[in-house]
Amino acid sequence: MLSQPRFSAFTVALGFVFVSAVALALFATPIQYAWHEIVEERSTERLREDAQRLENVLRRNGQDALKTVIDAMVEAQQPDDEKFILLADRSLKPITGNLTIWPSTIPDTPGTYTNEFTLNGRKVEAIMIRTTLSDGSNLLVGRNTAKFKTVETLFWIGLVGAGTSVLVFGVIGGMLIRNALLKEVHEINQTANAIVAGDLSRRLQRHGGTNELDILAQTINRMLEQIELSVQGIRNVSNAIAHDLRTPLTELRTQLEELSVTRPSPQQTFAEIDTAAADVDRVIAIFNALLRLAEIDNGARISGFVPVDVVNMVTDAVEFYQPVAELRGMTLSLTSNVQIVIAGDPVLLAQAIGNLIDNALKYATHKITVVVAVTPEDVICISVIDDGPGIADGEKAKVVERFYRGDASRGTPGVGLGLSLVAAVTKLHGGNLVLNDAAPGLNAMMRLPASTSRR
Amino acid sequence: MKLLIIEDNERVARFLKKGLGEAGYTIDHADSGRDGMFLAVSESYDAIVMDRMLPGGIDGLSIIVALRKDGNKTPILILSALGDVDDRVQGLKSGGDDYLVKPFSFDELLARLDAIMRRSQDQATDNSLTIGDLHMDRLSHKVTRGDKVVNLQPREFKLLEYLMRHANQVVTRTMLLENVWDYHFDPQTNVVDVHISKLRQKIDDGGPAPLLRTIRNAGYMLSADA
């Protein structure tokens, strides 16, 4: 697969020429065969019949009758109907017919001969049949084939002409295609090189058409878009990880160093160690969330999909968080009048729903409403609506990003991966996470297609 | 009580030997899959704690499969850095009794080890459980403390049932999340604590002595002895 582009265009042209040649041959062979079979064989056959009939005349009615018949045939002959007939005695001396002498080039034995003969002083392409009659005389019947030859020659000229034009147009077409391809490939090549060099914003030029290369360019551009987003995402995440991990790690380090320098009482030391362990737990929690996200992102979990009763699962989650809401003086209620079973991952769906309620508990002031509904388009909507500060329009896309924490969330616990996980789980199930204003508050809605078995 | 630890990481192994030794267990240690396999087959243990990825040609899961095929029912706790849901399922399917993801806290390990050893001791599922004067009838879903009837929600019933089954041993929050709610994530809020305190109000309110205690840094324990 390492062949260069010019070879590929050239190969296409060659292939085209080859295929055309084969097509021509397939077209010409039957014609040639039919020609040979029908025209030549038939006329030879007719000559044989003539010879046989003349023999019959001789046998039944004698040599005089034969002479009369031959004379009549010569008489009846049309000028352009170049048939030859000659009756000669044992020593090949002509008796009657339209040839003056027995052609010397006819072999001595009876048979059918196709050749150039000297007849009546001129050279003629002909088929000749020589027969020895029952009284020992020799009969020669034949036909001029020069007329056939002309047609055949025309046929061959036509065939060679067609073959040549196929070859010429094939090579020219191949070169044109090659040049067009090289131009496009050159463009793609330049763009790709620019991207390799680090300019991820470069895109392929499109010529506004709907031809194959434009469609390809569109697809490649979409791919580049996705790659740029991913790379951007990775860059952001790396920065965010570094930042988010640095905080607990710094605290941890300071704590340990302080311990080693100040050497406080054993009791205080143990308390400090417990705090340090809690800091490490925060780091571990971040890693676990990241690993879970990676697990979801690679899509391998689709294989583990089982039927999940959505309403049941949401009811359990609401029941699970109910005591916390009560404790904080909030109402947490569930509205649902449907019965839905989807194919999904129960562990991840439970975690996603849990994260949404967790989140709502963090920001709500009095009330959280969970609604499960099915739209007429068969989309299952799981909404968690709070009456908190909500999310500004400009921030909605960002809160789903990994590690992003909205202004409102500064100072609240959490690692900034909750909504990313909900978004990733929803995507895994073929749906999307929609964040709407609940005025006041946030309506976070997981939209899952009812037939959610594929991404 | 005799334990076998199969763990190749020296620091983790030293930590386990020290901690479990202080908890009163007798410890055998193997640092490769091969040695672990030999010990597990030839000696008799009350439980085995093993790493999943081991040097020596035999990995943890293969040891478990081999032991179980041999009819060996020793409770096994798998320790592993592989923490995906699928990895956990694979570990339990191969015959492990519990799965703990590294890094782990020692209290969590101790609680889970206790739980799996207890599980193997009383396999019988009694229809009634009694701790002190707390009584649970699993068939009629009736709970009484002394002669007072305790009214519980279905999930509270399940929570209490789990605590009673593991009476006199520490039960961690993660164990409760996994076994009572079947949740495999850490909620950001202290939901489990709130559920426990609600349950505590119901069973310990007006009782002669509190049964449900909080064990600092570890979890909870239901016990009749003060």
Question: Hey, are the CB atoms on B188 and A414 less than 8 Å from each other?
Answer: yes
- Please identify which residue in the block is written with the tokens 């993660």: B174
Of B83, B183, B195, the CB nearest to A350: B183
| Chain A residues closer than 8 Å to B184 by CB | 347, 350-351
Q: What is the DSSP letter of A36?
A: I
In the prediction, which pLDDT does A409 show?
A: 47
Contacts of A359 (CB under 8 A, 6+ apart): A384, A418, A419, A444
Name which of A331, A396, A337 is nearest A369 in CA terms: A331
| Chain A residues closer than 8 Å to B217 by CB | 274
Between CA B4 and CA B74 the distance in angstroms is 10
Amino acid of residue A362: K
Average pLDDT of the residues of chain B: 87
Residue-wise burial string across A230-260, b where 16 or more C-beta atoms lie within 10 A, e elsewhere: eeeeeeebeebeeebeeebeeebeeeeeeee
In a 10 Å sphere around its CB, with 0-12 CB exposed, 13-18 middle and 19+ buried, how is residue A129 labelled? buried
Between CA A334 and CA A391 the distance in angstroms is 22
Tell me the CA distances in angstroms from A320 to A329, A342, A353, A357, one per residue in order: 16, 22, 11, 10
Between CA A130 and CA A104 the distance in angstroms is 12
pLDDT above 50: residue B22:
yes
B82, closest residue in chain A (CA to CA): A291
pLDDT above 50: residue B184:
yes
Which of B191, B193, B195, B217 is the best substitution to test chain A (most A C-beta atoms within 10 A)? B191
Amino acid of residue A34: A
Question: Hey, are the CB atoms on B103 and A284 less than 8 Å from each other?
Answer: yes
Collapsing DSSP to helix, strand or coil, A311 comes out as helix
Between CA A17 and CA A408 the distance in angstroms is 71
Rg of the Cα trace of chain B? 19
Question: Hey, are the CB atoms on B194 and A304 less than 8 Å from each other?
Answer: no
| Chain A residues closer than 8 Å to B183 by CB | 320, 350-351, 354
Query: What domains, with CATH codes, occur in chain A?
Result: 5-153 (3.30.450), 212-297 (1.10.287.130), 300-449 (3.30.565.10)
Which of A327, A356, A412 is the best substitution to test chain B (most B C-beta atoms within 10 A)? A327
Contact (Cβ atoms closer than 8 angstroms) between residue A311 and residue A336: yes
Question: Hey, are the CB atoms on B185 and A292 less than 8 Å from each other?
Answer: yes
Contact (Cβ atoms closer than 8 angstroms) between residue B64 and residue B85: no
Query: What domains, with CATH codes, occur in chain B?
Result: 2-121 (3.40.50.2300), 128-222 (1.10.10.10)
Would you call B52 an interface residue with chain A, using a CB distance cutoff of 8 Å? no
How far is the first Cα of chain A from the last one, in angstroms, to the nearest whole number?
33
Task: Give chain A's residues under pLDDT 50.
Answer: 1-5, 407-413, 452-455
A315-338 pLDDT tens trace: 999 999 999 999 999 999 999 888
Q: Both tokens of residue A359?
A: 């989140």
Question: Hey, are the CB atoms on A347 and B184 less than 8 Å from each other?
Answer: yes
How is the beta sheet containing B76-80 ordered, strand by strand? B26-30, B2-6, B47-51, B76-80, B98-101
Between CA A355 and CA A123 the distance in angstroms is 106
Q: Both tokens of residue A363?
A: 């920001």
In order, the DSSP letters of A47-103 are: HHHHHHHHHHHHHHHHHHHHHHHHHHHHHH--TT--EEEEEE-TT--EEEES-SS--
SS3 readout for chain B: CEEEEECCCHHHHHHHHHHHHHCCCEEEEECCHHHHHHHHHHCCCCEEEEECCCCCCCCHHHHHHHHHHCCCCCCEEEEECCCCHHHHHHHHHCCCCEEEECCCCHHHHHHHHHHHHHHHHCCCCCCEEEECCEEEECCCCEEEECCEEECCCHHHHHHHHHHHHCCCCCEEHHHHHHHHHCCCCCCCCCHHHHHHHHHHHHHHCCCCCCCEEEECCCEEEECCCC
Quick one: how far is CA B181 from the chain centroid? 15
Contact (Cβ atoms closer than 8 angstroms) between residue B4 and residue B13: no
The Cα angle at residue A217 between residues A216 and A220, in degrees rounded to 5: 85
Question: Hey, are the CB atoms on A354 and B189 less than 8 Å from each other?
Answer: no
Sign, Cα dihedral of A16, A18, A19, A21: positive
Question: Which residues of chain A have a Cβ shorter than 8 Å from any chain B Cβ?
Answer: 274, 277, 280-281, 284-285, 288, 291-292, 295, 300-301, 304, 316, 319-321, 323-324, 327, 345-348, 350-351, 354-355, 358, 361-362, 413-414, 418
Of A288, A316, A323, the CB nearest to B195: A323
Amino acid of residue B107: D
| CA distance, residue A333 to nearest chain B CA (Å) | 17
Contacts of B120 (CB under 8 A, 6+ apart): B73, B74, B75, B97
Tell me the pairing of strands A367-374 and A379-386: antiparallel
Predicted confidence band at B195 (pLDDT cuts at 50, 70, 90)? Answer: very high
How is the beta sheet containing B171-172 ordered, strand by strand? B171-172, B219-222, B212-215
Of B86, B186, B194, the CB nearest to A323: B194
| Chain A residues closer than 8 Å to B102 by CB | none
Tell me the pairing of strands A122-132 and A83-88: unpaired
Of A324, A350, A354, the CB nearest to B194: A324
In the prediction, which pLDDT does A453 show?
A: 39
Name which of A309, A329, A307, A443 is nearest A388 in CA terms: A443
Q: Both tokens of residue A454?
A: 């594929």
In the prediction, which pLDDT does A385 show?
A: 93
Collapsing DSSP to helix, strand or coil, A167 comes out as helix
Contacts of B189 (CB under 8 A, 6+ apart): A321, A324, A358, A361, A362
Question: Hey, are the CB atoms on B84 and A291 less than 8 Å from each other?
Answer: yes
Of A295, A321, A361, the CB nearest to B84: A295
pLDDT above 80: residue B163:
yes
Contacts of A441 (CB under 8 A, 6+ apart): A363, A364, A385, A386, A387, A388, A389, A390
Between CA A42 and CA A49 the distance in angstroms is 10
Angle between helices B60-69 and B33-42 (to 10 degrees): 20
Question: Hey, are the CB atoms on A347 and B198 less than 8 Å from each other?
Answer: no
Rg of the Cα trace of chain A? 49
Between CA A139 and CA A110 the distance in angstroms is 9
Name which of A425, A442, A338 is nearest A383 in CA terms: A442
